[in-house]
Amino acid sequence: MLIHYWDCKKTRQFISFLRNEKRGIEEMKQFKNISKQYQHGIFWGLTILGIKILGSVPQFIELIYARNIYPIIAIINRWFAALFPVSIGDLLYFWGFAYLIYQILQLLIQIKSPKEQFFKISTFLLKTIWLFYLSWGLNYFREPLAKNLHLSTEKYTAAQLLEVTDSLIIRTNRLQKQLTGNDSLAVKIPYSLDKILQKTPEGYRQIESYINTKYSVPCIKTSLFSKQISYMSVSGYINPFTGEAQVNKFYPKVFLPDIASHEVAHQLGYAPENEANFLGYLAATQHPDLYFNYSGYINALYYFLVELRHYDSKIYQTYIKKLHKGVLKNFKEAQIFHRKYRFPIDFSSTYDSYLKLNNQKTGLHSYNEMVQLVIAFELQKEK
């Protein structure tokens, strides 16, 4: 009986131990969950703080990242991506969005452990953000191109805007007449899209000594999502993860040489849109091919006319009348494209917010700020 009693006592103690152990395990799990919450909060906080700090030291970004680290990353990425005939960046985008949608759906149907699913999504987004900035995005925080090219940053005058707009109209009209033989005919580029993309790097060879940047290992492709991005009014983009320049194959061909040149500027590490627009203009207008010249001038002229319309609508109307009918027909092609792919949802506000988050305070208007750079460049040439 004594032995039996002792055994029962031991059994009760063992059961009590197991209960305490189970309770301890549950407490540990709860502690780990709380710890994971804190970790995610800390990592997100450090990410936001890190971006803010890096955004405040453009000299450091320019010297360490933009001039030394990024060029190596870019060449390796373009070399690898160029091995494939299709855009691996687009395939990566497709996988990333599909994965994210799947995980969000899993979060919605998870009953027992929604926190775990939330942390999984949070971790994926956090890693994506870090990869974005390390592979390309830090270029948003480098020193302004105007500083490196010694271009004036003073706001242009109305007289300077009118003068350069007049000059662009003269050059555009002259090229239109030269390429068509008739001032009423729209310019039609005779090359295939692949040929345009192959010829694009030549423009950067013409200006590499001026911008002190060499474009090697070209990688320019048509987007696999050309139809989809047409509804978003997107003519081209760079994939920051693979370094591929992407062009919308459905966009009117006459604008594509300048668009491709714009995306190459992004590949070279010039992230702000005004700078990419300006370098695309330089590369296209300095290109040995006249069709590239025309594409560069007509794209620049568009932004100048937009600025002129904001300045004085009556003067704008008089300048429109100076354009050859053939030039107006080329502008009409872009209008028809945007009308054809009009979508009820406006995506511009999302992209505007993205630009503002990445050191472009004026958002979408930063595209038009290339006008300042072109005018400063023209003034620099006159000295």
What are the pLDDT digits (tens) for 122-160? 889 999 999 999 999 999 999 999 999 999 888 999 999
pLDDT of residue 33: 52
pLDDT of residue 6: 46
Residues 190/251, Cβ–Cβ less than 8 Å: no
pLDDT band at 28, cuts 50/70/90? very low
Q: Which residue has the higher pLDDT, 150 or 47?
A: 150
What are the pLDDT digits (tens) for 101-132? 988 888 888 665 677 788 888 889 999 999 99
The candidate with the shortest Cα–Cα distance to 81, out of 227, 203, 306, 243, is: 243
For 34, the 3-state DSSP assignment is helix
What are the pLDDT digits (tens) for 303-322? 999 999 998 999 999 999 99
CA distance linking residue 373 with residue 281, whole number of Å = 10
Question: Residue 68 class from Cβ within 10 Å (0-12 exposed, 13-18 middle, 19+ buried)?
Answer: exposed
pTM of the model: 0.87
Q: List, in order, residues 6 or more apart from 360 with CB less than 8 Å away.
A: 140, 272, 273, 366
pLDDT of residue 112: 59
Supply 262's token pair: 């714009």
Helices (H), the chain: 2-55, 58-60, 70-81, 88-109, 114-135, 145-148, 158-180, 193-199, 201-211, 226-230, 256-267, 273-285, 290-311, 313-320, 325-340, 348-357, 370-382
Q: Is the pLDDT of residue 11 over 90?
A: no
Q: List, in order, residues 6 or more apart from 280 with CB less than 8 Å away.
A: 258, 259, 261, 262, 263, 264, 265, 296, 299
Residues 254/333, Cβ–Cβ less than 8 Å: yes
State the DSSP code for 245: E
What are the pLDDT digits (tens) for 238-291? 999 999 999 999 999 999 999 999 999 999 999 999 999 999 999 999 999 999
User: In percent, how much of the chain has pLDDT > 90?
Assistant: 67
Q: Is the pLDDT of residue 9 over 70?
A: no
CA distance linking residue 290 with residue 272, whole number of Å = 27
Q: Is the pLDDT of residue 93 over 60?
A: yes
